[in-house]
Every structure is written in C-alpha cells, then in structure tokens.
C-alpha cells in the first residue's frame, strides 16, 4: 500500500523521478504525474484503467505558468481565471506542442487549472513541470475526497499519498472554454453557472457525451457506485420497492426516513445547504455503496446554486 503523509519535498522528488503521487485539491484527490513525461502519463491511464480517449486536466501553480503551455487565453476566460483561481475552475485552451497529445487524447485543447489547496500549491511551486491529475480512483467509480479513499482503491498503484484532509468542495471543477466567441460550460462543477454568468454573461451548457469527449469528465456514465442507483421521487421509489424493504439504501438532499435504518440512509445536508451537500456527495455515495443493500434510491436537488452540478453527478451515477 502507498505511504500517506504530508511531505511535500518527498512528493516533489517522486514526481520528478516519474512516479505517481496522489494530491489533495479543494475538489477531489488527483492521481498526479509529470504532464510532460509521457511514461508518467501512460501510467496514470493504466493505474486508473482510464480509456485513452478521455483527456486529462493539467494543474499549475498560477496563471503566469499557464502561458508556458497554451497559445493564448481569451479575455473572457482570463476574466474567469482572475475571479476564480485558485479554485474549482478548469479552462479549456489551445495547447502548445510541449503538452503531449496523450494528455489531451489527441485534441488540440488542454484543460488547465490552479487548484485551491495550500499543500498542492506549495508542491506545484516546487516543480518545473505541470501535473496531469485526474481523480485518484478507478475509472468510472466515485471520486475520492480523502486520503483513505485513495488508499482503498489505488494504494498499490502509486508511490505516495499527500494527505491534505477532506476536500472542501467535493465536486470536480467546472470546465469552461470558448467556441466562435461563445463561452461554453463543458462540465458542471464546483463553481455555479450563475457565478460564471456574473462575470461573462450568458453561457452555453453542453450535455455530456457518451464517447470521445471534448474535455475531461464528459462521459455519460461516471462517478458511479458499484450498486445500482435509481434516481427519482423518493416516496414513490420507496413504495415501488417495498418488496425489497431492507434491501435498499436512501440518498436524500435533506430528509430522513424513520422506517429506513439509519445506517442505510444519508441526507447530504439536513439544513438544505448546497455547499455542504456538494462536499458530502461522494463520501455519502461511498458509504451507501458499502452497506449490505443491493440498491441505492436517490433524489435530485433543486436546480439552483450547486444543485445543477450535484444533479449532473447523480444522473451519471445512475446512468448505467
């Protein structure tokens, strides 16, 4: 199993030697390797069992470093970077040739972001290369929001886990780019649509694709527990599955159910707080996936604030 600790210098040395290190961010833990080292990038894909057509996000310490790896940053996207970096925002930009095609799955654009986590920013500042870092979990499974989550599933496939505690946001970054002068959201995430539109005006939101995604995290079925998940009205779902009473778990926004064992239900936020719900989503899905039930019944949140991004993850978790 991987060593877990807070040693930034050790992490930097391992990454410089081509090893993989799990890094904490405000969104989820990433499986990081030198983005300019194709052997390290290949190892990322292999360790996650991630298809090569699904591109990776590149992490840097600040906006000044971004210019080393992309041709330019349109003014609208630069305004978003200035507003939200460090933070859960990824910009999809035309890459320079220094970024291997393997990182972008052969596409001409690369996703770049500055993570908002003190340990990882300190690590990035020590490196003379960017880090490719998709979520540190087996491909398609629930994203990790703690060092122990990484250890549970990938501990035998990486050298070190940099322990930064529990992720504060808990949802992957919002991916934003531009096409023909139009600002586009490719993936909903930790920054709400309304917050982005306050900076750049009306945006276009793309639906996720089932194959050949244009940016990371666009696959239809993703973030999924091993158990079957059904999404809908919880009261109706519970009635439909009465014959399976005791064999289903409940994932709700803020409700609790007296006729369901406490160990088999999770409310994302009893107070109805969207930030808290986002922060708890993946750990709640993991907890219910580990129960003795065979089915998870879940409900969508109101389509406001981070509710849109949470619902996106829930729909993809239930897609298969």
Check whether the bond before 232 is cis (ω within 30° of 0): no
Residue 273 phi/psi, 5° resolution? -85, 120
- Per the model's pLDDT, the better-predicted residue between 73 and 220 turns out to be 73
Strands 228-231 and 182-187: unpaired
Q: What angle do CA 52, 135, 153 make, to 5 degrees?
A: 100
What is the structure's pLDDT at 224?
83
Does the annotation list 187 as a binding residue? yes
Q: What is the C-alpha separation between 275 and 107, in angstroms, rounded?
A: 33
Spell out the domains of the chain, with CATH numbers in brackets.
3-205 (3.90.870.10), 228-318 (3.40.50.11030)
What is the structure's pLDDT at 169?
96
What is the structure's pLDDT at 214?
64
Does the annotation list 50 as a binding residue? yes
240: CB partners within 8 A, 6+ apart: none
- Determine what percent of the chain is predicted with pLDDT higher than 90: 87
Does the annotation list 113 as a binding residue? yes
Does the annotation list 94 as a binding residue? no
Q: What is the C-alpha separation between 161 and 172, in angstroms, rounded?
A: 19
What is the structure's pLDDT at 162?
98
**211 pLDDT band (50/70/90 cuts)?**
very low
What is the structure's pLDDT at 53?
82
Does the annotation list 52 as a binding residue? no
The model's pLDDT over 221-250, given as tens digits with 9 standing for 90+, comes to 667 899 999 999 999 999 998 775 568 999
Q: What is the C-alpha separation between 111 and 175, in angstroms, rounded?
A: 8
Long-range CB contact pairs, 17-21, < 8 A, 24+: 18/43, 19/158, 19/159, 19/160, 20/44, 20/47, 20/157, 20/158, 20/159, 21/158, 21/159, 21/160, 21/161, 21/162
Residue 212 pLDDT greater than 50, yes or no:
no
Percent helix, strand and coil across the chain, each to the nearest 5: 30, 20, 50
Does the annotation list 133 as a binding residue? yes
Does the annotation list 59 as a binding residue? yes
Residue 210 pLDDT greater than 50, yes or no:
no
Q: Hey, what's the torsion of the CAs at 34, 37, 39, 41, to 10 degrees? A: 50
Residue 150 pLDDT greater than 60, yes or no:
yes
What is the pLDDT of the chain when averaged over all its residues? Answer: 93
Does the annotation list 135 as a binding residue? yes
What is the structure's pLDDT at 51?
85
The model's pLDDT over 22-44, given as tens digits with 9 standing for 90+, comes to 999 999 999 999 999 999 999 99
Show the tokens assigned to 244.
Answer: 């399976």
What is the structure's pLDDT at 245?
56
Residue 307 pLDDT greater than 80, yes or no:
yes
What is the structure's pLDDT at 319?
85
- Determine what percent of the chain is predicted with pLDDT higher than 70: 94
The model's pLDDT over 170-190, given as tens digits with 9 standing for 90+, comes to 999 999 999 999 999 999 999
What is the structure's pLDDT at 219?
57
Q: What is the C-alpha separation between 77 and 199, in angstroms, rounded?
A: 9
- Residue 221 exposed, middle or buried by CB count within 10 Å (0-12, 13-18, 19+): middle
Q: Which range, of 80-84, 93-97, 122-126, 217-221, averages the lowest pLDDT? A: 217-221
10: left (phi over 0), alpha (psi -120 to 50) or beta: alpha
Locate tokens 């619902």: which residue? 311
Q: Which range, of 125-139, 212-226, 233-247, 294-308, averages the lowest pLDDT? A: 212-226
């Amino acid at each position: 199993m991987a060593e877990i600790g807070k040693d930034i210098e050790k992490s930097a040395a391992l990454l410089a030697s081509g090893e993989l290190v799990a890094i904490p961010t405000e969104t989820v833990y990433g499986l990081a390797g030198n983005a300019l080292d194709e052997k390290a990038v290949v190892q990322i894909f292999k360790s996650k069992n991630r298809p090569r057509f699904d591109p990776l996000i590149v992490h840097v310490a600040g906006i000044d470093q971004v210019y080393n790896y992309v041709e330019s940053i349109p003014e609208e996207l630069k305004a978003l970077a200035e507003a939200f970096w460090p933070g859960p925002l990824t910009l999809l930009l035309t890459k320079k040739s220094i970024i291997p095609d393997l990182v972008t799955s052969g596409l001409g654009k690369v996703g770049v972001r500055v993570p908002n986590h003190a340990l990882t920013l300190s690590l990035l500042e020590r490196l003379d290369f960017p880090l490719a870092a998709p979520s540190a979990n087996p491909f398609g499974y629930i994203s990790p929001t703690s060092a122990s989550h990484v250890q549970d599933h990938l501990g035998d496939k990486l050298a070190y886990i940099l322990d930064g505690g529990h992720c504060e946001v808990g949802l992957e970054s919002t991916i934003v780019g531009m096409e023909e002068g139009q600002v586009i959201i490719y993936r909903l995430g930790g920054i709400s649509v309304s917050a982005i539109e306050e900076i750049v005006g009306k945006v276009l939101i793309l639906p996720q694709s089932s194959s050949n995604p244009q940016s990371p995290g666009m696959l239809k079925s993703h973030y999924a527990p091993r158990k079957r998940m059904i999404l809908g009205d919880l009261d109706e779902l519970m009635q439909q599955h009465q014959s399976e009473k005791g064999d289903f778990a409940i994932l709700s926004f803020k409700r609790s159910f007296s006729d369901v064992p406490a160990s088999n239900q999770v409310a994302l936020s009893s107070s109805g707080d969207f930030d808290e719900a986002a922060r708890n989503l993946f750990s709640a899905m993991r907890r219910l996936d580990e129960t003795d039930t065979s089915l998870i019944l879940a409900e969508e949140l109101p389509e406001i604030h981070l509710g849109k991004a949470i619902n996106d993850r829930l729909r993809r978790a239930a897609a298969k």
